[in-house]
Structure 1
Amino acid sequence: MRESSVSFCPVPTEQQPIHEYQQLKDSWFFRWAKLELRNYGLKLAWVWGLSWLIAGPVAAASFAPHQHLVQFILAGGAGAGVFLILVLLRLYLGWSYVCDRLSQETIGYEESGWYDGQTWTKPPEVLSRDRLIVSYQVQPILQRLQRTLGIIAILIISGSLLWNLS
């Protein structure tokens, strides 16, 4: 008897897009993007706050807080923001990679090493399932991360304007 197209997949389990999605979803770090809004914001606030441990002393060395308080706060906030942006970019790139793998009709994989790359065309049932996951699970996460990066861009622009006014 012939195996159904859904059950037969030559791609090694760890390279299957659905498995990569599951690993990302269960990952300690990448799971942050799936948290409810309040907890998501708290995680990002912690990253930004802890980044002040590095950015604060650098900003204080450049702008003495007792003489140039506004510049110190803006420089320290921007410096801490760099770490936050890097964290958000890592989240975005990880989810974007999985989104691309799930959306593709054919996927590349390696059986035993870099030298024997193969491709596999997903059967219609698998492709439909993967694209549903993208539509209802992954796209909202990517949109949240894009909105967050947009808010940070607005804060950076506002900080730049405030810097020029002070």
Structure 2
Amino acid sequence: MCISKKICPVPFDQQPLNEYFSLRSSWFFSWSTLTLNKYLIKIFNIFVFLFIVLIPLALFIVSNKISLYKLLFLNVFIVTLIFLLIFIRLYLGWSYIAKRLVSATVFYEESGWYDGQLWVKSSEILIKDRLIVFYEVIPFLRRVKYSILMILIVLLIEKLIYLLIL
């Protein structure tokens, strides 16, 4: 869905619509585009994988004798922190694309950082880009925002429980 060079001087990879398609098809950012069931299954699978992989890290952090449930709880806390970073990255990527699609102007670089240009979108392209943002990108952003909120709540609960265990 490339815009011709006569209409848009922006290089192919820097066109907001092409950036959106690239982000949507990427392995990492496509998580938030899955159906809710697949999204939750993906998150659970990644959580289990990280939990298993990070057990040695939790053992290394607490080198002294510690009970098994405290060790497992520490590992869950570490995995949840990693999840928070992952979802912040998801949010930043989708919000960047949303900003580029909603904007009436597009900043682009022709050959390097020193020759930036500004292109003003036509009303046709602007309307199409904004429809994509409101009907496709914003639901992804909303899902990621709610996920971040849930992760923060879980982190708070984990921290309180961990303090009660000590």
TM-score of Structure 1 vs Structure 2, range by shorter chain: 0.7 to 0.9
Matched residues, number: 161
TM-score for the superposition, normalised by structure 1: 0.88
Instruction: Measure how far apart 1:151 and its partner are.
Output: 0.6
Q: Does the alignment pair 1:37 with 2:36?
A: yes
Partner of 2:56: 57
The whole-number CA distance in structure 2 between the counterparts of 1:137 and 1:82 is 28
Partner of 2:94: 95
The whole-number CA distance in structure 2 between the counterparts of 1:57 and 1:102 is 43
Match of 2:74, SS?
helix
On the 8 A contact 1:108/1:118 being kept in 2, the answer is yes
CA pair 136-8 structure 1, distance change in 2 beyond 3 A? same
The whole-number CA distance in structure 2 between the counterparts of 1:6 and 1:44 is 41
Partner of 1:81: 80
On the 8 A contact 2:81/2:155 being kept in 1, the answer is no
Q: Which amino acid aligns with 1:134?
A: V
The whole-number CA distance in structure 1 between the counterparts of 2:64 and 2:152 is 26
Partner of 1:139: 138
Match of 1:118, SS?
strand
In structure 2, stretches of 5+ residues that fail to align are none
In structure 1, stretches of 5+ residues that fail to align are none
The whole-number CA distance in structure 2 between the counterparts of 1:37 and 1:102 is 25
Partner of 2:71: 72
Instruction: Measure how far apart 1:71 and its partner are.
Output: 1.9
Instruction: Measure how far apart 1:63 and its partner are.
Output: 7.2
* Aligned-residue RMSD, C-alpha: 2.1
Partner of 1:48: 47
The whole-number CA distance in structure 2 between the counterparts of 1:8 and 1:95 is 26
